[in-house]
Structure 1
Amino acid sequence: MDALIFYTNPMSRGQIVRWMLEEVGVSYEQRLLDYPSGMKSAEYLAINPMGKVPAIVHDGRVVTECAAICAYLADAFPEAGLAPPTSDRADYYRWLFFAAGPVENAVTNHAMQWNPSPDQSRTVGYGSYETTIDALETAVAGKSFVANDTFSAADVYLGSHIDWGMQFGTIPQRPVFERYIAPLRERAAYRRAKEIDGALIAKAQRPADR
């Protein structure tokens, strides 16, 4: 099996990739990095010049950015069935990258209390926070999964944004979002990933022995 190295911090978007890795079901080497030193070390900056996690190195190939990593892993391990056939990926690509672009930007800016004026919304890619959240509701309304009625990497990524957003109050707890995310939280891979990162967070927060 090709070597797969996973660079992460449990209190980061690395949780998204952890879930994806658990869905894929392949073995990987975990490398935990802290924010002030590990992510800014020369060794890691050679992998990701942004000094951010997560990142993976698979058989010598570097992939960064959560959406890209999820899509890459789905293609690299097709036996997991986490990507639709290439001829049927319209919704898969559409909503995967909608979450990576408009949702990520709109939610972050709104949480930081910056919202574009009506004139600025013409230039800002997501238009407005409200428009983006309404479109996100459209993406999952009446669906078990966001693409082709089949669970995919797009659900890992989009679902993670909705899951976190509702937990931390950056995405409203609309009934449509609750119905979509509830079964995703019951997935065995989701639960394994949360257990792993939860244990790492608890260990990091434990007072040092004196």
Structure 2
Amino acid sequence: MITLHHCPQTRSMRSLWLLHELGIDFEVETYPFDKTLRSPAYLEKSPAGRVPALELDGQAIFETGAITEILCERFSPNGMGRGVDHVDRAQWLIWVHFSETISQHTAALTQQHIALRDDTMRSPIVMKLEAARLGKCYAALEARLKGREYLLDSGFSAADVSVGQAVYMARFFAHLDGFEALTDWYERITQREGFKASLPGKDVLFSETFFPAWDMPS
């Protein structure tokens, strides 16, 4: 049995979406976004106390990029994945891992807007810089997606899942206005049943409200 250890609206949503796209049997253990992830039992699965962690064949695997590569190689090497001899292999790897470039800026903004509860600890300068860096990521995606339906010429893949989840989170801090190809792609992939199945329920870290990066929270 495959078990995903998951917190809603975190990077583990990336793995959850991929598992739904693969159409394989799995279980989900959901955690609150708190010190539960620092318990000795969980640290045996993910030594830094982060999600996701994936149990597969008696092993605990962590890091979303590694989980994506292992799942695709095992269950869909030339469907959701791209095998080592596939013409799109390099591009697949590039965009799967580009999702982390986006996510690192979103994580910085999450810390500023959510984790730092005292306004005096927050930095409008950091907020503005990190939101601008998300804009640079959007521009890179816009250039890639012009004239394409998906990130790869060979069609939808785990690269779209990885980047799509990263953009889902980034949109809470930097909107997609002005990025036409990116917006069209995002609307296309988020109509998929796998994406809808990976969305959080009522308990969320983020609302649908866009956080202005240049303002101190009131």
Q: So what's the TM-score if we normalise by structure 2?
A: 0.74
For residues 18-71 of structure 1, what are the alpha-carbon distances to aligned partners after superposition, in whole Å with 9 as ceiling and x for unaligned? 111100111112212223342111000011111111110101122212222222
Unaligned regions of 5+ residues in structure 1, if any?
Answer: 118-127, 203-210
- Rounded to whole Å, the distance in 1 between the matches of 2:163 and 2:56 is 23
Q: Does 1:84 align with 2:82?
A: yes
- Rounded to whole Å, the distance in 2 between the matches of 1:114 and 1:129 is 12
- Rounded to whole Å, the distance in 2 between the matches of 1:32 and 1:192 is 14
For residues 158-194 of structure 1, what are the alpha-carbon distances to aligned partners after superposition, in whole Å with 9 as ceiling and x for unaligned? 111123322x133533222211111111112222222
Name the counterpart of 1:189: 194
Q: Report if aligned partners of 2:134, 2:170 keep a CA contact under 8 Å in 1.
A: no
In structure 2, relative to structure 1, the CA distance for the partners of 1:135 and 1:74 (3 Å cut) is same
Q: CA deviation at 1:139?
A: 2.5
Q: Secondary structure at the match of 2:61?
A: strand
Q: Report if aligned partners of 1:137, 1:177 keep a CA contact under 8 Å in 2.
A: yes
More helix by share: 1
- For residue 96 of structure 2, what is the amino acid of its counterpart? L
In structure 2, relative to structure 1, the CA distance for the partners of 1:192 and 1:141 (3 Å cut) is same
Name the counterpart of 1:172: 176
For residues 123-163 of structure 1, what are the alpha-carbon distances to aligned partners after superposition, in whole Å with 9 as ceiling and x for unaligned? xxxxx555433223222222111123311111100111123
- Rounded to whole Å, the distance in 2 between the matches of 1:170 and 1:116 is 10
Name the counterpart of 2:13: 15
Q: Report if aligned partners of 1:7, 1:53 keep a CA contact under 8 Å in 2.
A: yes
For residues 95-115 of structure 1, what are the alpha-carbon distances to aligned partners after superposition, in whole Å with 9 as ceiling and x for unaligned? 111222x32234444674438
Q: Secondary structure at the match of 2:137?
A: helix
Q: Secondary structure at the match of 2:81?
A: coil
- Rounded to whole Å, the distance in 1 between the matches of 2:176 and 2:107 is 14
Name the counterpart of 2:104: 105
Q: How does 1:21-100 map to 2 (within 5 A)?
A: 21-78=19-76, 81-87=79-85, 88=87, 89-100=89-100
Q: Report if aligned partners of 1:106, 1:132 keep a CA contact under 8 Å in 2.
A: no
Q: Secondary structure at the match of 2:55?
A: strand
Name the counterpart of 1:120: none
Report sequence identity in percent. 22
Q: Report if aligned partners of 2:103, 2:170 keep a CA contact under 8 Å in 1.
A: no
Q: How does 1:143-162 map to 2 (within 5 A)?
A: 143-162=148-167
CA RMSD of superposed structures (Å) = 2.7
- For residue 138 of structure 2, what is the amino acid of its counterpart? I
- Rounded to whole Å, the distance in 1 between the matches of 2:198 and 2:127 is 33
Number of aligned positions between the proteins = 186
Unaligned regions of 5+ residues in structure 2, if any?
Answer: 113-124, 205-218
In structure 2, relative to structure 1, the CA distance for the partners of 1:58 and 1:192 (3 Å cut) is same
In structure 2, relative to structure 1, the CA distance for the partners of 1:61 and 1:40 (3 Å cut) is same
Q: Report if aligned partners of 2:134, 2:174 keep a CA contact under 8 Å in 1.
A: no
Q: Does 1:163 align with 2:168?
A: yes
- Once the two structures are overlaid, the 10-residue window that deviates more, 75-84 or 15-24, is 75-84
